[in-house]
Chains A and B, each alone.
Chain A
Amino acid sequence: MSEEIKWTKESDMPLMAMSMGRMTVNKTGSWRNLRPVVDKDKCNKCGICWKFCPDVSIKMDAEDYPVVDLEYCKGCGICATECPKDAITMVKES
C-alpha cells in the first residue's frame, strides 16, 4: 500500500478523488536537521519516547529498546525532551 501510485492513462484514474495509498510514500526523514541518538546504557525501556512521537517514527525492538526510523523521523526532539533518563541526544545531521 505504500508504493507510489502512477497512472498511464486517464481511465486508470478514479472517477472522484479518493485515498488509494498511504502517505508512507512521503519520506519525511529528509526534513530533519537534528537526529535523535539513543544511548542504550542509559535507557530503562520505558517506551515514553515511542508514546510521544508525532511521526510514528520510534519502534521498540525485541529487547524493548527504542529504534528510530530515520526514513520518517523529522527531528522534532520531543523524544529527547520527554525521555526521563536523558538517554536521547539530538545531534546535527551532516
Chain B
Amino acid sequence: MKYTIPAEEVMCSGHKACQGCGAALAMRYALKALGPRTIMTFPACCWSVIDGPFPYSAVGVPLFHTAFETAAVVASGIRAGLDARGEEDINVVAWAGDGGTFDIGIQALSGTTERNDNIIYVCYDNEAYMNTGVQRSSATPWGAVTSTTPARHFKQERKKDMMAILAAHSIPYTASASVAYPEDFVKKLNYAKSIKGTKFLHILASCPPGWRSAPELAVQLARLAVQTHVFPLYEIHEGRYFRMSMNPKKKPITEYLKPQGRFRHLTEEQVADMDRMVDERYEYLLEQAERSKPYFEDKKGN
C-alpha cells in the first residue's frame, strides 16, 4: 500500500472526541509528521478531555496539561530545559484551541514569539469555546451563532486575523492548514520541524456539535471552507513573504454555509455581506503573494 501521508500512527483509538471531530483528525496528522520524539503542552480545551483521564493518554507522546493562558510559555520552558540537557532533537509543540490562542493565550504566545523560542505552536481552530459549550471567541466568524451570540444577536465582529498578528512578530514561519488536505498539512509541519525559531500553524478543525453540522460532513466542510475562500491555505515566511498553498476556483459560499446550523439564520443579504468580506480578505492575500514572488524564486523550492 502506498500512502500519501506517513503510515505510522502515534495517536491511538479510544480517545474521547465526538464523532467526526476535526481536532482529533488534526492531531492524528500532526503526530504523523512530528513523530514520537515530541513533547506537547495542552491548555484547557477540548483536547484536554479528548486525550483521556489520568492515568491514560491517547497522543502517544509526553504531554503537559497547562493553565488555559500558558500553552506557549510552558512550551518555551520545556524547550529551555531540553536545550540545557543538550536534547535538541525533540520537537516541542504547544497545542491549543482558538480560545486559548486568539484570546486568553495571546500574551504568552506573543512573548514566546518575540523571543523566537524554538517551538511549534499549533492552534486547532474550531471557531468557539467548544469544551465549555460553544461560547464565541475572537476566532468565531462574523455571522455565526454560538451560545453567547444567539441567532437574533449573531456575531457582529469579524474573525481576528491571527496569522497577521504573528507575522507582525517577524516569526520565521506561519501557515494555515486544513484537516481536509492532509498532505499539505503534513508538509507544513515537516517544514516547521526543519527550521529553528517559533513556528505557528493555524488549523481549521471542524466541530460537528459546535457548528451544528452532521459528523459525516466534517471533512467535506473543512474542504469547502478552502474552496469557497473562507479559509485560504497559505504561508507567511519571515513575517513578510506570502505564498498561497492553493488557489482554487471559488465555489459559492452558500455551499459552505448551508450545511451548518450556526449560519442558518442568515438572510440572503447577510450572506452577500459575508461573501464580500471573504473576497476582500482573499484579494489582499493574493496581492501579498504576488508581491512576494521574487522571494520564493530566489529561495528555489522551499
Task: List chain A positions with a Cβ less than 8 A from chain B.
Answer: 2, 5, 14, 17-28, 31, 45, 47, 50-52, 54-57, 60, 64, 69, 71-72, 74-78, 80-82, 90
Contact = CB atoms under 8 A, between A and B. Distances in A.
Contact of A51 (B13, B14, B51, B182): B182
B110 to A, nearest CB: 29
A77 B28 contact: no
15 contacts: A19-B56, A23-B57, A23-B58, A24-B12, A24-B13, A27-B14, A28-B15, A28-B16, A47-B3, A47-B4, A54-B25, A56-B13, A60-B1, A75-B19, A78-B218
Nearest to A17: B54
A55 to B, nearest CB: 5
A60 to B, nearest CB: 5
B197 interface: no
Given A19-B62, A22-B56, 5 more contacts: A22-B57, A23-B16, A47-B3, A54-B28, A78-B216
Nearest to B24: A54
Nearest to B63: A19
A28 B14 CA distance: 6
B5 interface: yes
Contacts of A51: 3-5, 182
Interface SS majority for chain B:
loop
Contacts of B56: 5, 19-23, 25-26
Contacts of A17: 54-55
A82 to B, nearest CB: 6
Contacts of A50: 3
Interface SS majority for chain A:
loop
A57 B215 contact: no
Count class of interface residues, chain B: 35 or more
B21 interface: yes
Given A22-B56, A26-B52, A82 B28 contact: no
Interface in B213-259: 214-220
A30 B236 CA distance: 44
Given A54-B28, A69-B13, A23 B216 contact: no
Given A17-B54, A52-B25, A76-B19, A22 B218 contact: no
Task: Enumerate the 9 nearest inter-chain pairs by beta-carbon distance, A residue then B residue, closest first.
Answer: A77-B216, A19-B57, A72-B13, A76-B20, A76-B19, A23-B14, A23-B58, A26-B14, A54-B24
A24 B14 contact: yes
Nearest to B61: A19
B275 interface: no
B210 interface: no
Q: Which of A23, A24, A54, A71 has the most CB of B within 10 A?
A: A54
B200 to A, nearest CB: 23
B63 A56 contact: no
B17 A54 contact: yes
Contacts of B172: none
A76 B213 CA distance: 12
B22 interface: yes
A28 B13 contact: yes
A52 B219 contact: yes
Nearest to B15: A23
Contacts of A24: 12-14
Contacts of B220: 81-82
